[in-house]
Amino acid sequence: MKYSKQVSLQTHNSFSVHSLCPVMFFPENEEDLCQLTKVLPKSFYILGEGSNTLFVGGESPVIIKPNFRGIKITETLENYIVQVGCSENWHQLVCFCIERGINGLENLALIPGSVGAAPVQNIGAYGVELADFCTSVKWFDFATDKLQLINAEECKFAYRESIFKHSLKNTGIITEVELTFSKSWQPILTYPGLNKLPANVSTQEVMQKVIGLRTSKLPDPEHKPNAGSFFKNPVVDLNFFKLLSDKFGEMPHYPQKNGNIKLAAGWLIDQAGLKGIRQGGVGVHDKQALVLVNFESKKGQDIVNLAAYVQQKVFEKFNIKLRPEVRIVLSEGEVNFQTNDLITSGCS
């Protein structure tokens, strides 16, 4: 199996922060994975393209960066079934499908990252999420050294959640993702920005619109290093939502199937007066307050400090504790992020 020692992670994370990885393994087949289980240390982190990971501290744990490639399409009377290696790039997969007339992923265009990372946080945008298409995941289990299929129900997909963040965390690796697309495609145009498109719109047009919306609001990590939304949108119960709207008036909100209400974290941060603020070389994006940008810092800790400040200010104003979407990795592995535990300097 291929591996490298003492790898600088700066080009392996979209926040572009410095950290040194003692060993990075690059398994690319089942044999490599069996070999890997024999040498796995207690703490390690599985990395895709590093677009949702924040490394904090000078050293990272051992990293596994799988390299499973390939896209296979099969067809039934009603569906296209697409099996994709975990290391394929997500946006390239979206383009690949749409060029071949396989519709469905257009609302998920331009999401950074690898295909294997998509089920972990059940990526979603513009009214669509991975769970709408994912029918199974191929999983290599470290305990048995065997590949197995995990079906969609077992994946326990929820808003930016799955079993891979919980009971299956660090117990194996996703090597392939299976997506199923109905041949009778209907565009999903409910999200503001898409809802003015005509009903007979083409997939290409929807995709171009999504790309336009994303590029107008979200900073390009190549020029302004970031990891997309830093926090999840918080979900509150109806009573609390009523109290909030009595106090703060109209606010973006999305009723959930169970009666709870999802709020827009970007709006809360914006209303707390934090949009565009900068400190320690990092800042809150001036067009979408949910995104934290690394302008010129080398340290993940600077981003954590800013995140903690944002969390504190939003809590003071709205009594809501924002939870990060980005995964925080220290030398001892991923931490269950409570920004307050990680602050090393104050903010003003």
Catalytic residues: 160, 229, 325
Residue 117 has what DSSP assignment? G
Q: Is position 187 an interface residue for ligand EPU (rule: CB under 6 A)?
A: no
Out of 325, 334, 337, 343, which residue is the one contacting ligand EPU (CB under 6 A)?
325
Task: Identify which range of 34-42, 73-81, 235-243, 263-271 contacts ligand EPU by CB under 6 A.
Answer: 263-271
Query: What is the total count of residues that contact ligand EPU (CB under 6 A)?
Result: 19
How many CB atoms within 10 Å of residue 340? 11
The residue nearest ligand EPU at its CB is 228
Burial code (b: 16+ CB inside 10 Å, e: under 16) for 230-256 equals bbbbbbbeeeebeebeeeeeeeebeee
Distance CA 16, CA 120 (A): 22
Q: Is position 125 an interface residue for ligand EPU (rule: CB under 6 A)?
A: yes
Q: How far is the CB of 252 from ligand EPU (least distance, A)?
A: 4
Out of 91, 156, 169, 217, which residue is the one contacting ligand EPU (CB under 6 A)?
217
Out of 232, 299, 313, 327, which residue is the one contacting ligand EPU (CB under 6 A)?
232
CA 237 to chain centre: 25
Nearest to 271 by CA among 256, 243, 290: 290
Task: Identify which range of 3-11, 163-171, 177-185, 227-235 contacts ligand EPU by CB under 6 A.
Answer: 227-235
Question: Dihedral (C-alpha) 305, 310, 311, 317: value to the nearest 10 degrees?
Answer: 150
Which residues, 6+ apart, have CB-to-CB distance to 167 below 8 Å?
Answer: none
Q: How far is the CB of 191 from ligand EPU (least distance, A)?
A: 6
Q: Is position 161 an interface residue for ligand EPU (rule: CB under 6 A)?
A: no
CA 291 to chain centre: 12
Q: Is position 252 an interface residue for ligand EPU (rule: CB under 6 A)?
A: yes
Task: Identify which range of 1-9, 84-92, 240-248, 282-290 contacts ligand EPU by CB under 6 A.
Answer: 282-290
Query: Which pair of structure tokens corresponds to residue 333?
Result: 């592995």
Distance CA 291, CA 204 (A): 27
Which residues, 6+ apart, have CB-to-CB distance to 152 below 8 Å?
Answer: 131, 134, 135, 136
Q: How far is the CB of 146 from ligand EPU (least distance, A)?
A: 32
Which residues, 6+ apart, have CB-to-CB distance to 315 below 8 Å?
Answer: 321, 322
Q: How far is the CB of 284 from ligand EPU (least distance, A)?
A: 8
Q: How far is the CB of 207 from ligand EPU (least distance, A)?
A: 14
Task: Identify which range of 59-67, 146-154, 179-187, 229-237 contacts ligand EPU by CB under 6 A.
Answer: 229-237
Site residues (CB under 6 A) for ligand EPU? 125-126, 191, 217-218, 228-229, 232-233, 252, 264, 266-267, 270, 275, 288-290, 325
